[in-house]
Amino acid sequence: MNGKTWTQSEDAFILTHFGRISYREIARRLDPSLTRHQIRGRHIRLIERHIQGAQQGETARGAPIDGTAVETSETNNRLHCVTKSAEIKTLEDLIAYAQVDMKKWHCVRQVVNKWEVGAVVDKVVIIKPLFQVKAWFEPIGETERSEDIRTSLIAEMKQHSPRYAPIQYPHIQESHEKYAVELFIPDPHHGKLCWKPETGDNWESALSERVYSIAIDTLMQRASGLAIDQIILPVGNDFFHTDLADGTTTAGTPQDSDTRWQKTFKRMRVMLVAKIEQLRTIAPVHVIVVPGNHDQAKMYYFGDALECWFNNCSDVSVDNGPRLRKYHGYGASLIAYAHGDKERPLNYPMLMAHEAKPLFAAAKYYEWHLGHLHKREEKKRAIADQVDTDTVDGVVLRRTPSLGGADAWHYGKGYVHSPREADLFLWGKTSGPVGHFTHHYWGDSERTA
């Protein structure tokens, strides 16, 4: 293929479709003898030519710079724009290129992704960055009106939230150790659809609700008889499978969903309210909302709903702050929560020390509890009875698996062998972490342990 003469239509095809379809498909449509390196090399040459032309005030062959194409869609009075380009790197670049009228529209969300493409051209490796910029817009003024409506609605809901009579809990003698029970059940992915003939697992809202509820009951039964003075209930960590109304995650990735998101949202709110009401008969409950990468916005709304519902309940508190990382101190221990998809593991100790200074200074024991990977990590056995932890600078990092089943994407990737589990961690007021129970779920057999 050395010395190939490229036609204008072939150049235009590569500029338009590179990165959107596979190399094999490009070769099939243009010339089956084309190799991956030739296609990548031609794309880089075209990018360089267009950049040089743009710097000289002209564009080679009259094609758009670097093959940039903007995809726009306007539905329900909302505007969505996407570009994939070497030149469009920021929201401002996208707005200028797509000629979005900022007197009419207001950006409510943006995502910028970057990766590199390389090719060997004349025995020289050339690396070029590519950018994908996605932005969602709403009409100016509507966001403010929506926020006003939300604020008013929350105030009204708090006025009419149920009034719970305070519970007189059994007195715990000063000579006895007090304990906090932490129910850690990350990544249930309520609303996810798994079909057993396709993936080997069934998973839908009715099943996920039942499995989640049974996990709480089983774990609390194992901790019965202890002098419990607090129940810690982190919720989130991909509590819901999707975030947006179109059935996608926070980043816009399509998902297999079993029903309308409104139905799932209400069903899980009713279920969790009932479980919190059940738990508060044992000890005061502290709910910690931890956003995930699937449900970051939806969990904030869900936390709002819980906060409003239990506004008149002195035995239930809800931490629904907007930060992605949350911290909770109990006696001599500091427990931190994050979904675990963004931070580097080695940064967790310093993040804890910096973001929770007073709690960090008062504690003797430090742990991060994470989700996201749907599996336990056993990188290090620093302490004999902590076989599922990784200790970094005296801070213990734990990941707990998911109870949820494998959907088509996970099955296709081969992520089907992780145990399906939930954890209960026992914290002594003075002695720190003193116990750990695990609940196992084996799928359709309905066996639990």
Whether residue 90 sits in one domain with residue 49: no
Contact in structure between 225 and 282 (CB atoms under 8 Å)? no
41 and 83 both lie in a single domain: no
Q: What is the mean pLDDT of the chain?
A: 84
Six token digits for residue 306 = 């819980």
Give the whole-angstrom CA distance, residue 159 versus residue 77: 33
pLDDT classification of 278: cutoffs 50, 70, 90: very high
- Amino acid present at 378: E
Q: How far is CA 426 from the centre of its chain?
A: 26
Given 66, 87, 113, the domain boundary residue is 66
Residues 212 and 267 in one domain: yes
Mean predicted confidence (pLDDT) in 277-285 = 97
Q: How confident is the model at residue 267 (pLDDT cuts 50, 70, 90)?
A: very high
Same domain for 119 and 211, yes or no, is: no
Domain membership flag for residue 147? no
How far is CA 101 from its chain centroid? 31
Tell me how far apart the alpha carbons of residues 336 and 237 are, in angstroms, rounded to a whole number.
Answer: 13
Lookup: tokens for 418 = 């992780």
Q: Pick the closest to residue 257 from 179, 193, 194, 322 (CA basis).
A: 193
Pairing relationship of beta strands 432-441 and 420-428 according to DSSP bridges: antiparallel
Assign 3-class secondary structure to the chain. Answer: CCCCCCCHHHHHHHHHHECCECHHHHHHHHCCCCCHHHHHHHHHHHHHHHHHHHHCCCCHHHCCHHHCCEEEEEECCEEEEEEEECCCCCHHHHHHHHCCCCCCEEEEEEEEEEEEEEEEECCEEEEEEEEEEEEEEEECCHHHHHHHHHHHHHHHHHHCCCECCCCCCCCCCCCCCCEEEEEECCCCCECECECHHHHCCCECHHHHHHHHHHHHHHHHHHCCCCCEEEEEEEEECCCECCCCCCCECCCCCECCECCCHHHHHHHHHHHHHHHHHHHCCCCCEEEEEECCCCCHHHHHHHHHHHHHHCCECCCEEEECCCCCCEEEEECCEEEEECCCCCCCHHHHHHHHHHHCHHHHHHCCEEEEEECCCCCCCCCCCCCCCCCCEEEECCEEEEECCCCCCCCHHHHHHCCCCCCEEEEEEEEECCCEEEEEEEEEECHHHCCEC
Rounded Cα gap, residues 57 and 173, in angstroms: 82
197 and 55 within one domain: no
d(CA 290, CA 327): 10
Question: Smallest Cα–Cα separation from 308: which of 200, 152, 119, 104?
Answer: 152
Q: pLDDT by residue (tens digit) across 192-207?
A: 999 888 888 889 999 9
pLDDT in the model for residue 389: 59
Domain identity same for 189 and 124 = no
pLDDT at 60: 36
For residue 280, what pLDDT is reported? 97
The mean per-residue pLDDT over the stretch 234-248 comes to 92
Does 345 map to a domain?
A: yes
d(CA 104, CA 349): 45
pLDDT range class, residue 44, cuts 50, 70, 90: confident
Q: Which domain holds residue 310?
A: 175-445
Same domain, 252 and 372: yes
pLDDT of residue 230: 98
CA angle 150, 156, 160 (to 5 degrees): 140
184 shares its domain with 329: yes
Q: Cα–Cα distance between 33 and 375 in angstroms, integer?
A: 43
For residues 360 and 357, give the distance between their C-alpha atoms in angstroms, rounded to a whole number. Answer: 5
Q: Evaluate whether residue 292 is within a structural domain.
A: yes
What token pair was written down for 157?
Answer: 């809901």
Asked if residue 323 belongs to a domain, the reply is yes
Residue with the larger pLDDT of the pair 138 and 278 = 278
In a domain, 167, yes or no: no
Question: Among 89-93, 122-126, 226-230, 385-389, whose mean pLDDT is lowest?
Answer: 385-389
Q: Domain boundary at 66, 85, 104, which? A: 66
Quote the pLDDT of residue 160: 66
Q: Indicate if 134 and 183 belong to the same structural domain.
A: no
Are 278 and 402 contained in the same domain? yes
Q: 54: pLDDT confidence band, cut at 50, 70 and 90?
A: very low
Judge whether 327 lies within some domain: yes
Closest by Cα among 37, 7, 6, 2 to 23: 37
- pLDDT of 341 above 60: yes
Number of domains in the chain: 3
- For residue 417, tell me if it sits in a domain: yes
Same domain, 52 and 100: no
In whole angstroms, what is the distance from residue 438 CA to residue 215 CA? 9
- Give the amino acid at 21: I
> What local confidence, expressed as pLDDT, does residue 104 receive?
86
Do 127 and 203 share a domain, yes or no? no
Q: Which of 414, 184, 153 is CA-nearest to residue 301? A: 153
- 280 inside domain: yes
User: What is the pTM for the complete model shown?
Assistant: 0.66
Q: Which of 44, 66, 88 is the last residue of a domain?
A: 66
Residue identified by tokens 């009034």 is 163
